[in-house]
Each structure stands twice: as C-alpha cells, then as structure tokens.
Amino acid sequence: MVKQTIQIYARIKPTKKQTGIYSVEEENSTSALEIIVPRDLADGFVNNKRESYKFKFQKTFDQEAKQDSVFEIIAKPVAESVLAGYNGTIFAYGQTGSGKTFTITGGAERYIDRGIIPRTLSFIFQQLQKDSSHVYTTHISYLEIYNECGYDLLDPRHEASKLEDLPKVTIMEDPEQNIHLKNLSLQQAASEEEALNLLFLGDTNRMIAETPMNQASTRSHCIFTIHLSSKEPGSATIRRSKLHLVDLAGSERVAKTGVGGQLLTEAKYINLSLHYLEQVIIALAEKHRSHIPYRNSMMTSVLRDSLGGNCMTTMIATLSVDKKNIDESISTCRFAQRVAVIKNEAVLNEEIDPRLMIVRLKKEIQTLKDELAILTGKPRTEELTEEELLTLEELLKAFVEDRDPESMLDVGADMRKIHHCFKHFKQLVNERAIHDTRLSSAKTTEKSADTTSVKKEEMDKLQGLLQQRDNEINILVNMLKKEKKRAQDAILQLNTSNAPSTTEVSQGAGQKSLIPSNPIPRDFLTPEQKPGFLHRKAGIGDDMSQGRQEAFEIFKRDYADSVTIEDNKQLLKQRFSEAKLLGEKVNEARNKINQLKGDIEQRRMQTAALGVTNASVDSNEPDPVEEELRKQIEEEKKCYKALFNRLKGLKTEIEHLQFLLEKAKVKLQKDFEDWWSEQATSLQGQSSSVWRAPVLTPLNSQQRLQSSSLSETDQTLPTADSSFSSSASSQNKSIPAIRTPKNVGSAIPLTGDSQVDADILAFVKARQNLMQKKGLSN
C-alpha cells in the first residue's frame, strides 16, 4: 500500500504581456508561487493590506515549460505506478483558457505540443512492449460529463445522433460500494495507434467546444481512462489498474465584475459539479469527518477513488497570469492548497483468476493424492473401506458415550472420515428430534386421557344426581298413591252416606270414573286450583329440590307431632292477640292518667287566677274537684299496673311457645331428613339396576286428560309398558304416547295426575337424552 497526499503542480500559461504579478521560487523538492496583487488592484480592500499571496506546489511549471517536461515530471511517475498495478489520476483544474486541455490533451497543431494523454499512451505501450514477463490488456474509455449527465465519447453514434438521443452513462453501485458506469464503453486498444485513434474520436465527439471566456466557459468535464490489466503467464493473479486523465470544466466563479472587492470573498462556481468537488475536498481535508459527499455529483462519484481512496492522484493547477485573471488564479491556487492535504492510500489491485485457480487447485490435489499414496503405500479411494468404517464407528461410539466434556474425537486429516462423522452426528440429532416429537405427542395423549377422566367424573356425578331424582319421583309417586287411596276412601264414605251426590261420568269404551261432585278432594283439583302439593311454587326451603319440598309438605301433614305443633301455633296466635289487646288497654290507662294530671294542673291555675281577681276566694282551701281527680288517677294507676303485669306474663308465655315451636320445627326437619334418606336407600335397593327409560313422545293435552282419567279408575297406576300402552292401543291408535323398547327393565310409575305425569315424563325424556348423549343408553 502506498500512502500519499495528492500531489499538486502549477502550470502557468504563456503570455506575451509583461505581468510582473507573480514570482516562482524553487526550493528543494517544492516550489513557492507568489502572486503579487498590483497596488491599483488592491486599493479596494478595506481590511486587508496584503499585496501578495504565497502558495506551495510540488513544482511550478512556468510559462516556458514544455509539454515533455510536464509529462516527465508529472505524468510519467503516475504512469509507472499504473503499470505496477496502482490506480492513478491526473486532473487539470483552472479557469477557462488557462491551458487545461493543452496540458491534458495537448495542442492540435504541433506534434511537440502533444499533451499528457498521448505521451502517456506512448509511454505505456512502449513499456508494455518492453515487458515480456507479463501479458497486458489495455482498454480505453472516454467519458464526458455535461450538466450532470454522462456521455460516452467513444460511442460511434455520436456523429449521426444528437447529444440528447444518445444513451446516457449512469452510475451503478454494487454491494461493496464499487462504482460501475453503465453505457460507458471500454474499447480495447492493442497498440498506441489504436489508443490514439480512440482519443481522436473522443475529442471529435466532444459536444461542448472551447468557447471564449466572456461568452461561456467550457462546462463539461472529460475523463480519459486507460484500463490496464496484466498477469504473468501461468499465474492466476491478475493486476488491474486505471489511469484517469481528467480535463475539468472551467473553474470560473460568479459575480466577476472586477477584481476589487472579490479577491478575498469566495465567489460561487459557475459549474455546480465543481462546487461539489470542492465540498468533497473540504470534507476530506477535515479530520474525523466520516461522511464524504461523493454522491452529490457524477464527477465526484466517478473520481471517488481518486479523491481520498485507492489511487495515486496528481492535480495540475493551470494559471493564467494576466492582470484580469488574477482573482481566478488565486482561487485556483487556494483550491490546490486544500487538495494538497488529502491523503490517498493506493493498493495493488490484484485478483485471482477463478478459472486458473480451479485448474491450479485440481492439479495440486492430484499431486497431493499421489504423494499420499506413496507415503501410505495404498492409493486413496473415494469411499472408506469396510475396515475403516468399522474402526470409525467404534471411535464415534466411544466419543459419544464418553461423559467427559473435554474428550476429543481424532479421526486424522482424512476428509472422508470427517464427513462420515458429520453424517453420523446429523443422524443422531435427527433421531433425537423425532424422539422428542414422539414424547410430546405421548404427553398430549396423556393429557387427553386426563380430560376423559374428568369427563367421566362429571358423568358419574350427573348419574348420581339422576338416581337421586329417580328416587324423589318414586317417593312422591308412592305418596301420591297413598293420598289417592285416602281420597277415594273418603269418596266411598260419602257415597254410602249420601249416594245421590256422586255423578258417574262415562269415559267411553267401557271406562268409568267416579268423580265426587261435592266436596272435591284436594288432590283432584286442577293444577291451577291446587294450593300446594305437587303444584309448582317457590320459596319453601330453597335448598331443597322441588320434589323434596313437596314430599316435605306431605310428611308434615302426617307428622305425629303436627297436632301439638298446630295447637301451640294456635295458642301462640291467641296469646299474640291477647297481648295486642292488653297493650292497647295499657296505653289507654296511661293516656287517661296523663289526661287527669293535665286536668288537675288546669284546675290549679284557674283557682290561682280567681284568688288574684277576687279577694274573697281563698286559694289555700282544699278543692273538692281536685280531690276527685286525684282519686280517679289512683284508680287508673291500679288498673294500669294490673294490665301491665298481665302483659308481662303473656310475653313470657309467648316466648316460651315460640321456643317450643322452633324446637318442634327442627325436630320435624330432622325426622323428615331421616325418613327421606330411608326411602331413598330402600328404593335404591329395589332398583339397583339402572332404570331403563322408555322411548317417549310428548303428550298432548287430550292425551293427558285421557291418561289422567284412566289412572283414576285403578288403584295400581298404569305403567308405560303395560296398562297405558295396551289400553291405548285397544282404544285409540293415535293415543300411544309412550313406546317402550323391548329391553326396558322397569316401568315408569305414573301418578294419574295429568300435570304431574307430564312432568315425570318430561323428566324421563330429559334423562334419556342425557344418557344418550353420554353414550350410556343401549
């Protein structure tokens, strides 16, 4: 790598006029250029009394300097670096007409005026011819940038087409941020002559010709590039280098009205891309500046490597030393001073030719194989032998089973064995993955088994509940039967004592029913008329099921202690009303006493008032009216006391009765609970096999009536599978509401009450549906 600041040179264009405004002083390896501002021009400065400006250059080529010396000193070293594989750039910067083109390309009239490009081409091709140790390839490209648009000056269509019709050269950037120019042709030049022809073609195609300074400066930038690649015969290394020879646009600034007042101020560039070039130069000159605005213009993008990158760069500041150009000359020198601090790092651009590399590696492999075969005494085949595989497997097994994390597996430098090991480990990892998947799926199955057990628990609970409800129904039905029997006994008794009061109601088809005309027994009332038993009502023992509540009502009625409870209740009621009456009387007596007290007070006041108005009235004499009132008060007080004492006694009696009732209530509750569980246990024992519910269809109201009527004729209530269905089939084909499957194990006990039976059947159906859902029905 070669680290180097951009080299700066100054070249002064010859002039026939006597200027006397500058002087050149050559020092060791540098030269000092002093520009002296004539007094008359400096008059306009207010704050600056300086009359001369000094600038340092590598060398200043004064007016008499010839093209060959410029080439020798400036271009030749760069060309040599390019030949060695480094990138190089030479650019000329200066105002229009200061000699940039003359320096870079040369004068067209005389051979001796050939500029840097032809001389470099000549030099390079001479060198190439001389060096037979390398194979060189040379390509030329010629780019013109005008108004931020790139044009290929070597495009043969230039002559026939207008500038705007030609394809524009565009900048492309690859992921490594390397710049590629699309539509810029690279023309191979096998000889100096071919290269010069290309230069001539490009110059001819330049769209913007040199113009007089006062009209418009030359505003295009031209970049002539020599692309060189070289490699030693048989070597895979290719060196690629580029040499940019750049003729920039004129560096004039705006507002050039005169020299005075403008010298120390920085006027703006006419050419925008030169402004961006200066921005890049300023940014590069600043230490620790991370962002360099190369992308702002096409010219700075193309010359990116030349400015602070992988390139050996040289700048030639062209100066026109006429008095009228003194400000532009100073600007140019200032610019050059900034450029001089930019450091470039040029590296050898070598790359490996991939095709050659493959060939070389193949060859190397073969050589190594041959060597190995000689050393081991046996040629290495593609596959491992069985014996080798066996040994390897044993090694692998030992390695995998070894618990020591530090243990090593050494199979030697045989890639076949290493590959085999990788294959083995991959297999292990895959097997492990499959095993894990199976394990997780097994866990999922376990989970689902858990869910099933939860469901089963729930089902068992429901089944228990169903059993409980079945028991309830059975208990209720049994109780109903008893009630019915009692009612019918009562009817029979009535019939014997009062025969004409019974009406025979025909039920059709030989069915008869005895319905008492008066009074109607409680249990034969319509559901709407029923006060409590089996009639839906809310409230009694909210914690009891409805069936239990109803059973409780019946139980209560037949309870042995009910009479005592009832008597106590009546007594309590009586005592309550007595207490109420006594309380009223006590209040009356108290009011009476208060009233009498008030009367006495009033009487006293009247007597006192009379004593004041009438002297004959003696207020100290006993008043018979007051005496009478006092006696009355005494009487009332006695009465009040007697009443109060009685009330007190009643209160004690009431409290005692309340206590007794509460006790009886608790006992009743307990006795009922005992009886209930007794009933349930005995029923469970009777029907240990689960009821098999018949297939049911809902009853309509007519059927309900018939069912109800039928039941009234029998002491044994009709069942779904016998009485009801058989009688229904014999009477009316449309009636059968209950169909029993063949495997029905037990009958549904019905009560004969249409509403109650409908409730029971609805319950049975709901139960059956539930059983079917749970998959328990057969």
Ligand X SMILES: Nc1ncnc2c1ncn2[C@@H]1O[C@H](COP(=O)(O)OP(=O)(O)OP(=O)(O)O)[C@@H](O)[C@H]1O
Q: In the complex, what is the shortest distance from the CB of residue 57 to ligand X, in angstroms, rounded to a whole number? A: 16
In 127-234, DSSP assigns E strands to 135-146, 149-152, 170-173, 179-182, 187-188, 221-231
Q: Does 96 bind ligand X (CB under 6 A)?
A: yes
Contacts by 430-435 with C-beta closer than 8 Å and gap 24+? none
Asked if residue 598 belongs to a known ligand binding site, the reply is no
The distance from CA 273 to its chain's CA centroid, rounded to whole angstroms, is 48
**Binding residues among 221-250 for ligand X as defined by CB under 6 A:** 250
161 is in an annotated binding site: no
Using DSSP's 3-state secondary structure scheme, residue 506 falls into strand
> How far is 335 from 328, CA to CA, in rounded Å?
10
- 14 contributes a contact to ligand X by CB under 6 A: yes
Whether the upstream peptide bond of residue 519 has omega within 30° of 0, thus cis, is yes
Comparison of 98 and 708: residue with beta carbon closer to ligand X: 98
- Was 649 annotated as part of a binding site? no
For residue 749, give the nearest of 733, 738, 741 by alpha carbon.
738
> For residues 647 and 579, is the Cβ–Cβ distance under 8 A?
yes
- Whose tokens are 């309830």? That residue is 472
| Number of chain residues interacting with ligand X (CB under 6 A) | 16
13 binds ligand X (CB under 6 A): yes
**Other Cβ atoms within 10 Å of 27 Cβ, number:** 8
Give the residue, chosen from 7, 81, 87, 101, that forms a contact with ligand X under the rule CB under 6 A: 101
Amino acid at residue number 68: D
CA angle in degrees (0–180, nearest 5) for 290-291-292: 120
271 binds ligand X (CB under 6 A): no
Nearest CA-CA partner of 65 in 115, 126, 5: 115
Least gap, CB of 90 to ligand X (angstroms): 14
Residues 106-125 that bind ligand X (CB under 6 A): 107
The first and second tokens of residue 117, run together, are 């490009």
DSSP 389-417: HHHHHHHHHHHHH---TT------S-HHH
Stretch of 2-10, 100-108, 138-146, 180-188 lying at the interface with ligand X (CB under 6 A): 100-108
Q: Determine how many CB atoms are found less than 10 A away from the CB of residue 622.
A: 6
8 Å CB contact between 188 and 137: yes
94 binds ligand X (CB under 6 A): yes
575 binding ligand X? (CB under 6 A): no
Return the amino acid letter for 770: L
List the one residue from 100, 239, 253, 304 that touches ligand X (CB under 6 A).
Answer: 100
Q: Single out the segment in contact with ligand X by CB under 6 A; choices: 92-100, 150-158, 523-531, 640-648.
A: 92-100
Using rule CB under 6 A, residue 59 touches ligand X: no
Q: Which of 215/778 has CB closer to ligand X?
A: 215
Among 85, 97, 202, 749, binds ligand X (CB under 6 A): 97
User: CB-wise, 318 or 707, nearer to ligand X?
Assistant: 318
Stretch that binds ligand X, among 89-97, 356-364, 371-379, 428-436 (CB under 6 A): 89-97
Q: Is 99 in the site for ligand X (CB under 6 A)?
A: yes
Give the nearest distance from C-beta 5 to ligand X in angstroms: 24
Q: Which is nearer to ligand X, 13 or 767 (CB)?
A: 13
Q: Tell me if 181 sits within 8 A of 244, measured CB to CB.
A: no
Burial of 513 from C-beta contacts in 10 A (0-12 / 13-18 / 19+): middle
Select 243 or 270, whichever has its Cβ closest to ligand X: 270
Kindly identify the residues of this chain, within the stretch 623-682, that bind ligand X according to CB under 6 A.
none
List the beta strands (DSSP E) in 532-641.
none
Contact with ligand X (CB under 6 A) among 31, 98, 314, 740:
98
Q: Which of 147, 142, 146 is nearest to 204 (CA)?
A: 142
- φ, ψ for residue 496, nearest 5 deg: -65, -40
Binding of ligand X by 44 (CB under 6 A): no
101 is in an annotated binding site: yes
**x/- binding map, residues 291-330, to ligand X, per CB under 6 A?**
---------------------------x------------
Task: Select from 210, 248, 213 the least CA-distant residue to 320.
Answer: 213
- The secondary structure of residue 237, as a DSSP letter, is E
Which region among 101-109, 343-351, 527-535, 660-668 touches ligand X (by CB under 6 A)?
101-109
**Position 210 contacts ligand X (CB under 6 A):** yes
318, two tokens: 């062209």
Output 100 or 304, the one with its CB closest to ligand X. 100
Query: Among residues 58 and 706, whose Cβ is nearest to ligand X?
Result: 58
Piece of 95-103, 298-306, 507-515, 568-576 that binds ligand X (CB under 6 A) = 95-103
* 3-state DSSP of 180-192: EEECCCCEECCCH
Select 210 or 402, whichever has its Cβ closest to ligand X.
210
Q: Does residue 81 interact with ligand X by CB under 6 A? A: no
Sheet containing 22-26, strands listed edge to edge, beginning at the edge strand earlier in sequence: 22-26, 31-36, 52-57
Residues linked to residue 150 through DSSP beta bridges, in sequence order: 145, 169
**E strand or H helix that includes residue 473:** helix 415-497
- Minimal distance in Å, beta carbon 134 to ligand X? 35
Is residue 547 near ligand X by the rule CB under 6 A?
A: no
Select from 15-23, 98-106, 297-305, 334-342 the region that touches ligand X (CB under 6 A).
98-106
Among residues 210 and 489, whose Cβ is nearest to ligand X? 210
| 102 lines the binding site for ligand X (CB under 6 A) | yes
202 binds ligand X (CB under 6 A): no
Q: Evaluate whether 522 touches 534 at the Cβ level (below 8 Å).
A: no
Q: Which stretch binds ligand X (CB under 6 A): 91-99, 122-130, 134-142, 442-450?
A: 91-99
Does the footprint of ligand X cover residue 218 (CB under 6 A)?
A: yes
Minimum distance of ligand X from residue 366's CB (angstroms): 60
Residues 126 to 165: which contact ligand X by CB under 6 A? none
Return the structure tokens found at 535.
Answer: 């009639």
Q: Does 187 bind ligand X (CB under 6 A)?
A: no
Is the Cβ–Cβ distance between 342 and 280 less than 8 Å? Answer: no
Least CB distance from residue 72 to ligand X, whole Å?
A: 15
Name the residue type at position 709.
Answer: S
Opening angle at CA 205, ends 199 and 207, nearest 5: 130
Q: Minimal distance in Å, beta carbon 252 to ligand X?
A: 9
Nearer to ligand X, 115 or 718 (CB): 115
Is there a contact between 200 and 192 (Cβ–Cβ < 8 Å)? Answer: no
Backbone angles phi, psi at 414, to 5 degrees: -95, 110
Does 206 participate in binding ligand X (rule CB under 6 A)?
Answer: no
Which parts of this chain interact with ligand X (CB under 6 A)?
A: 13-14, 94, 96-102, 107, 210, 217-218, 250, 318
Residues making up the binding site for ATP: 94-101
Residue list for the binding site: 94-101
